[in-house]
Structure 1
Amino acid sequence: MGLDMYLISMPKIEGMDYEDVHSANVHLRELEEKQNELFLKVKSHIIHSEKFGMSSISLMEVVAYWRKANQIHHWFVENLRNGKDDPCFTELVTKQNLEDLLNLCLIVLSNKKNPQDLLPTRFGSFFGSCEYDDFYYMEIEETKSLLEYLLKNFNFETHYLMYQCSW
């Protein structure tokens, strides 16, 4: 148990909005069985995977993962949901969101004074430590590297990016 956080990529498909693509993903196996027009529209975007002898299909792909990085979760809650936290939610993330978070990470890492003013921790059951210690800064450093990579390589024109958490 604990705070698990993801950035998830989902393709933008012509003629479909975010909700349509998300709904198609939820019902992907049913669509595959029917082989209907909607399935044919999403078919080229399906990701096939196999783990532990089980096969799965999805339109979504995890591109980032954190565990108990509550200061990063706090930033997403405050900036994407106006402070409203729930045990499980998904929100769209923009390129500007990533740039803003990266800038805060860079400031915190270069200054290391009063990080609670820029990227405060967030208390919660199983959220991990709320100390501003080596682990805190390690999570900020890993987030910085991850965001730099995504900003260089993620295509916001062809894919949606979503933040998802569960705790």
Structure 2
Amino acid sequence: MRKLIIAASSLSLMACASDRVDYGGTLHPVPMTNTAKACDSSARERVAYRAPDYPDALLSFLWLVHDDLDSRSLLFQYDIAADGRPVNIRYVGEERYINHDSYRTAVRAGAEAIADWRYRPEQTATHDCTISMMFVRPGRGMSQDEALDASR
């Protein structure tokens, strides 16, 4: 029994130390300088973006298991390098999303989409930008791109 508890504790600690965002880590880790300014989402112009590529089966599953819209979204924080690349992408929402394989798939897809975005370059980096990405069920209402625009 003791070995099982120790093994479970070790696994939990490894998940926290991971550089994979879907296990609670940070995608594209980069040290930020002390000259980085706080994020004002309206101040940095996003010049290229794409919506997350969620598998259809995942979207249907997540849509069915949640009653409220807030449970159908993921919360991320990220920094923007001076050259306009999103870096230090981290999931900051509910822990249950990284404790279930289907949710981890959604977290990974969201983080990978953010990694592909580009912002207009500026003199200094920006830190602690936040976005809530809504899940959109295929064929129902808005598209993934419209949901991404709505969540800005």
* TM score, norm. by length of structure 2: 0.23
Greater relative contact order structure (CA < 8 Å, 6+ sep): 1
Looking at secondary structure, tell me which structure has more helix per residue.
1
Structure whose alpha-carbon radius of gyration is higher: 1
